[in-house]
């Protein structure tokens, strides 16, 4: 057996023999990713082959984890530990909160913002203001007229239409995610859009990291503001510096780790998140994550935005790539990539200068972890 096939067989064996989420009792499942506390443990629902299954993960010793899970644990601990004992010195938080936002969501979004700030503060080299906008579909006119929020106003119509009907209220949607100069002041602008008739109980698990995800884009933009002000010659020129696999994927890695309150919740999140990227509802390109050569090839194509589904794919695939990177090089190593975004003429230059890695080396090294993640996930199939 060749080394390549041996590695793939090992990954598959690890998943099939060691991936054992606890299956909880099955109350009614209202939507995929729904969260319930069952027998005192956080559980989430997903639909596989038309059947609703409630998953949860029991706490296990590290020696009982498979290699895929051990890598995740290293990354999770690196990110969480980077915030331990930290105080917020550079970030001044300001809030613009809708009166229509349910009180419990208001409290939860502020908590998530303050929790993320303990990690994100260390990225800023000077005092900064970060404006946090928490709005609902009932604030459509306010968003349309706001000098900052109106940037993406056309992308929210789906939610304006569905939420008043009580549909899709499990979603939290990114509303703002920038650091730029407005009104003569360079400030951060972040926030989310959520249903006025929503509640924490109605949110799917993915929605619990959206506040931190959008907020992390402020961190990324802080280091590339000077180039943003000059501008880019199209989408490809932008992606050359900040490919979506890095910008969106690693934002997911960081936001999920800082938002999930335990490693078991972190595992649960990825089980649901990656499952949504398999099966009949997933981008077709994910069917290619079936062996190491195909996975490596797909990573390269997604990074260069060569496929119609590249941007959507970058969230899940990129999250696994940078989870591996943080496990291998530590949070401090990943932090260099954020600080050095403008080094050279591309992300590849940044990666080489920051960590001594080529893009080919990154993708080849991270591919087994990406493959293992997708093998572990149980997608919605017929």
Statement: residue 17 has pLDDT above 50: no
Does 95 reside within a domain? yes
Strands 173-182 and 22-23 turn out to be unpaired
pLDDT at 281: 72
Q: Count how many domains the chain has.
A: 1
Task: Give a three-class secondary structure readout of 146-200.
Answer: CCCHHHHHHHHHHHHHHHHHCCCCCCCEEEEEEEEEECCEEEEEEEEECCCCCCH
Does 244 reside within a domain? no
pLDDT at 302: 83
Statement: residue 296 has pLDDT above 70: yes
Instruction: Give the chain's count of helices (H) and strands (E).
Output: 14, 8
User: Once rounded to an integer, what is the mean pLDDT over residues 225-235?
Assistant: 87
Question: Token digits for 179?
Answer: 């650091």
pLDDT at 167: 95
Confidence of residue 19 (pLDDT cuts 50, 70, 90): very low
Statement: residue 155 has pLDDT above 80: yes
pLDDT at 25: 60
pLDDT at 280: 73
Does 300 reside within a domain? no
Does 295 reside within a domain? no
* 99-103: long-range contacts, CB 8 A cutoff, minimum separation 24: 100/136, 100/138, 100/139, 100/196, 101/134, 101/135, 101/136, 101/194, 101/196, 102/196, 102/197, 102/198, 102/199
Does 199 reside within a domain? yes
What is d(CA 269, CA 46) in angstroms, rounded to the nearest whole number?
11
pLDDT at 133: 98
Q: Which domain holds residue 179?
A: 91-231
Find the helix or strand (DSSP H, E) in which 45 lies: strand 41-48
Confidence of residue 58 (pLDDT cuts 50, 70, 90): very high
Statement: residue 84 has pLDDT above 60: yes
pLDDT at 219: 98
pLDDT greater at residue 220 or residue 46: 220
CATH of the domain at 135: 3.40.30
pLDDT at 8: 41
Statement: residue 382 has pLDDT above 60: no
pLDDT at 7: 44
Among 128-137, 155-164, 192-201, 228-237, the least confident range: 228-237
Does 221 reside within a domain? yes
- The 10s digit of each residue's pLDDT in 351-367 is 999 999 999 999 999 99
User: Once rounded to an integer, what is the mean pLDDT over residues 66-92?
Assistant: 97
pLDDT at 14: 41
Confidence of residue 340 (pLDDT cuts 50, 70, 90): very high
Does 182 reside within a domain? yes
Does 38 reside within a domain? no
């Amino acid at each position: 057996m060749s080394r390549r096939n041996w590695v793939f067989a090992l990954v598959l064996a690890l998943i099939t023999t060691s991936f054992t989420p606890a299956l909880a009792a099955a109350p009614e499942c209202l939507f995929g990713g729904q969260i319930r506390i069952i027998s005192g443990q956080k559980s989430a629902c997903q639909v596989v082959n038309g059947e609703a299954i409630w998953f949860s993960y029991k706490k296990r010793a590290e020696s009982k984890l498979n290699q895929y899970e051990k890598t995740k644990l290293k990354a999770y601990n690196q990110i969480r530990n980077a915030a331990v004992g930290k105080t917020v010195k550079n970030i001044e938080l300001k809030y613009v909160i809708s009166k229509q936002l349910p009180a419990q969501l208001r409290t939860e979004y502020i908590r998530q913002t303050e929790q993320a700030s303990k990690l994100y503060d260390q990225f800023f080299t000077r005092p900064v203001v970060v404006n946090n906008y928490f709005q609902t579909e009932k604030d459509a006119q306010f968003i349309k007229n706001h000098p900052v929020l109106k940037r993406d106003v056309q992308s929210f119509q789906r939610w304006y239409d569905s939420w008043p009907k009580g549909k899709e209220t499990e979603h939290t949607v990114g509303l703002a995610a920038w650091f730029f100069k407005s009104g003569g002041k360079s400030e951060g602008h972040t926030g989310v859009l959520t249903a006025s008739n929503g509640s924490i109980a109605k949110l799917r698990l993915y929605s619990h990291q959206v506040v931190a995800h959008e907020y992390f884009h402020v961190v990324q933009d802080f280091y590339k503001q000077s180039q943003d002000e000059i501008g880019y010659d199209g989408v490809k020129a932008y992606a050359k510096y900040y490919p979506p696999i890095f910008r969106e994927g690693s934002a997911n890695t960081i936001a999920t780790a800082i938002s999930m309150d335990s490693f078991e919740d972190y595992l649960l999140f990825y089980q649901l998140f990656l499952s949504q990227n398999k099966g009949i509802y997933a981008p077709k390109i994910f069917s290619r994550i079936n062996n190491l050569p195909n996975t490596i090839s797909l990573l390269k194509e997604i990074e260069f935005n060569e496929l119609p589904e590249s941007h959507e794919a970058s969230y899940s695939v990129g999250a696994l790539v940078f989870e591996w990177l943080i496990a291998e090089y530590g949070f401090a190593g990943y932090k260099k990539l954020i600080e050095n975004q403008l080094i050279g003429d591309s992300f590849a230059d940044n990666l080489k200068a920051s960590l001594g890695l080529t893009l080919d080396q990154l993708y080849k090294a991270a591919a087994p972890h990406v493959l293992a993640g997708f093998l572990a996930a149980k997608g919605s199939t017929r």
